[in-house]
Amino acid sequence: MRLRPILLIIVVALIVAAVFYVDVQQFLQAGVYLQSLYAEQPLLTAGAFFLLYTLAAALSIPAAWVLTVIAGLIFGLWTGVLLVSFASTIGATLAFLLARVLLRDWVQSKFAGYLKTINRGIEKDGGFYLFSLRLIPVIPFVVINLVMGLTPLKTRIFYWVSQLGMFPATIVYVNVGAELGALEELSVEGVLTPGLIISFMLLAVFPFIARSIVEGVQRRRVYRDFDKPRQFDTNMVVIGAGSAGLVSAYIAAATKARVTLVEKHKMGGDCLNTGCVPSKALIRAAKAVKEVKRAGELGIVAAQPAVDFPKVMERVQRVIEEIEPHDSVERYTELGVDCLQGQARIVSPWQVEVGGEVIRARSIVIASGASPFVPPIPGIENVDYLTSENLWELRELPTRLLIMGAGPIGCELAQSFQRLGSQVTLVDMMPRILPREDEDVSDFIAAKFAGEGIDILVNHKSVGFETREGEQIALLEGDAAKQVVFDKLLVAVGRKANVAGLGLGDVGVEITPEGTVGVDEFLRTRIPNIYACGDVAGPYQFTHTASHQAWYAAVNALFGGFKKFKVDYSVIPWATFTDPEVAHVGLSEEDARQAGIDYEVTKYGIDDLDRAIADNAAEGFVKVLTPPGKDKILGATIVGYHASDLLTEFVTAMKNGWGLGKILGTIHSYPTVSEANKFVAGDWRRANAPEKLLALVKSYHNWRLGKAAGKQASLPVE
């Protein structure tokens, strides 16, 4: 056991002992009387106490620990344990039933949507969940009794699990009372007897013991159907060689662990092959078209650009090929990673089958990523649709391109194809594009898109696809029914986690209602030595978040026996690479309103920024949310030139707890776009200036001007 828990236990024990000693005289005097009463009328005293304890528990009176200690003082250890164990369980069950009769139907109907997942978990594993709460009371027992009454948990399960789960704590608390009842003197030496000190120590150490018991029981439950190998081939198997998998394998190799990386398709995953890298290469080509068209604004005469679309797409592939060595088998093999090609299937908590070969591993990290989601719309199976996966095989520019989904992927590709020469129609069932951003951000980008000729149809749902006279037609419902003729359809409505074919159900790894692998705050699945990170685990589907999670998954998988780390989602940035870019971190205005958080907004227009004006990119804004009157950064959103790069300063500030004052006090080179961050901080300072202090300073300056003016007045005026 490490030193810090031991010191904590000692400190808690001494505090508890001191508290008891302060009032020990009155407590023991009452105890002596009750002990004598029990000696004269044992059945009556025990019966009255049993009834009192049961009534207190049934009425949810928060005095259980006091009554439990008193039981030990009056009745001694084992009689006290017997009385308390049954009285507390019966009383808790009565409270459980009372809550069920009076409130359950109303609560279940009122909050049906919120309780659906909880009910499903209770029905499946309610007994163990209750046992954990009883053994490690992170929630007061009174609350547990009432809340469980609102769930579908069966009464008989509630009763026996409660009695079993509360039994260890009952022994510990009753023992404290029994030791107090056995005291012969009220001196410090009398109170701090070895038995009483041990009792106090048990009170302090019990949560640690209880947690170990729960974890031990959980391990037995999840591993009971599997035989653990006596020897292992590797310390860790990583399934998937995308961003999360590559980082997990890299960390394992860097810490000299034996690691096996399995990939069924291409190293680098979606980001390199079909996502971030090719899309940014395409965006760069599209931006070049815009720059040529606007060259006249800079005094440069240029012909209208002619787009050679096949060459554009060939360059996209060259960019991928140039970056491929960073994620290659050769590089990771040199780092010490065993790389395997093939479909991985988990056959036990310690065994992964790849191509008929079974690998025995201490831990497993699932990093299988996600794939484009294609909704089951009638007729879509007859359309030669595109997704972010097969889009890059395209070599002929679509004349009319219909894009379903106005999230980041849909918006980035809509603008790119419009600039390259397609007529793009962007459709989304939400009321605005980029719905995760604030309304002013969505409106700004929508206006930009409209100005470039993109046809935006929000509040429209695709309900079917037809082919008439050789033309493909999308049927839309919304503000008004519409039919859109298109040559190519690009589906960009979201992504689904890659969980099929991995054997997760066979070993008990749970899948959430959202379709991702269920993990806890340490990124562990229900099987303690199997972890998941990246898109397959959620909740964010960003490459940088996958890399962030991979560190926690790898370190916890390899060293969790010594120290586990909770994954930190407190500061997660994201960027949409439209032109202008949109970048965001922390709370948006909508987030703050929904959470009931008071805030004020400071906004600086980039159209006033010297470098943006010089670069012919004077558009957009920087918006920062802060608590009223304080410079703490709750969230920041940037729309404009190099927004994704500018955001890093706010990410760093939030990560380190720095406010706008720190940004204002930082020297920014001139002329740079980074000055926008300093200027928004300056605007916040002016809006929150100390007016009373400034009024005093103004009076001081006026006073000094008066003295100077008096001297000047005596001089001759010509």
Tell me the per-residue pLDDT of 524-576, one tens digit each, with 9 for 90 and over. Answer: 999 999 999 999 998 998 999 999 999 999 999 999 989 999 999 989 999 99
CATH of residue 617: 3.30.390.30
Helix runs in 363-459, H state only: 408-420, 439-451
121 and 193 housed in the same domain: yes
Question: In the prediction, which pLDDT does 197 show?
Answer: 59
Question: In the prediction, which pLDDT does 223 show?
Answer: 85
Q: Is the pLDDT of residue 115 over 80?
A: no
Cα dist. 112→109, 121, 149 in Å?
Answer: 5, 14, 15
Distance (Å, rounded) from C-alpha 40 to C-alpha 365?
66
Domain assignment present for 700 = no
The secondary structure of residue 303, as a DSSP letter, is: P
Question: In the prediction, which pLDDT does 706 show?
Answer: 78
**Is the CB of residue 239 less than 8 Å from the CB of residue 352?**
yes
145 and 75 housed in the same domain: yes
Domain that holds residue 550: 234-372+497-559
Domain assignment present for 708 = no
Query: For 339, what's the count of Cα atoms within 13 Å in the CB-facing half-sphere?
Result: 21
* Residue where one domain finishes, among candidates 494, 510, 539: 494
Distance (Å, rounded) from C-alpha 260 to C-alpha 248?
10
Sheet architecture: strand order including 471-478: 460-468, 471-478, 482-486
Cα dist. 623→629, 640, 642, 683 in Å?
Answer: 16, 11, 15, 11
Q: Which position has the higher pLDDT, 36 or 282? A: 282
CA dihedral sign of residues 114, 120, 121, 122? positive
662 and 595 housed in the same domain: yes
Distance (Å, rounded) from C-alpha 516 to C-alpha 244?
15
Domain assignment present for 346 = yes
483 and 524 housed in the same domain: no
Degrees to nearest 5, angle at CA 314 with 312 and 315: 65
Domain assignment present for 625 = yes
Question: In the prediction, which pLDDT does 108 show?
Answer: 61
Residue 423 identity (one-letter amino acid): Q
546 and 470 housed in the same domain: no
528 and 627 housed in the same domain: no
426 and 356 housed in the same domain: no
Q: Are strands 495-497 and 423-427 parallel, antiparallel or unpaired?
A: unpaired
Question: In the prediction, which pLDDT does 14 show?
Answer: 44
356 and 301 housed in the same domain: yes
Domain assignment present for 713 = no
86 and 13 housed in the same domain: yes
277 and 314 housed in the same domain: yes
> What's the structural domain count of the chain?
4
Q: Is the pLDDT of residue 22 over 50?
A: no
Distance (Å, rounded) from C-alpha 351 to C-alpha 219?
17
**Is the CB of residue 73 less than 8 Å from the CB of residue 38?**
no
Query: For 704, what's the count of Cα atoms within 13 Å in the CB-facing half-sphere?
Result: 5
Question: In the prediction, which pLDDT does 636 show?
Answer: 97
Q: Band of the pLDDT at 66, cuts 50, 70, 90?
A: confident
CATH of residue 299: 3.50.50.60
Average pLDDT over residues 99-116: 66
Q: Band of the pLDDT at 187, cuts 50, 70, 90?
A: very low
* Residue where one domain finishes, among candidates 468, 494, 520: 494
Query: For 518, what's the count of Cα atoms within 13 Å in the CB-facing half-sphere?
Result: 13
Q: Is the pLDDT of residue 511 over 90?
A: yes
Domain assignment present for 439 = yes
Q: Is the pLDDT of residue 718 over 50?
A: no
State the Rg of the chain over Cα.
34
Residue 410 identity (one-letter amino acid): G
* Residue where one domain finishes, among candidates 223, 249, 273: 223
Q: Structure pTM?
A: 0.78
32 and 170 housed in the same domain: yes
Question: What is the chain's length?
Answer: 718
Domain assignment present for 565 = no
15 and 116 housed in the same domain: yes
Domain assignment present for 212 = yes
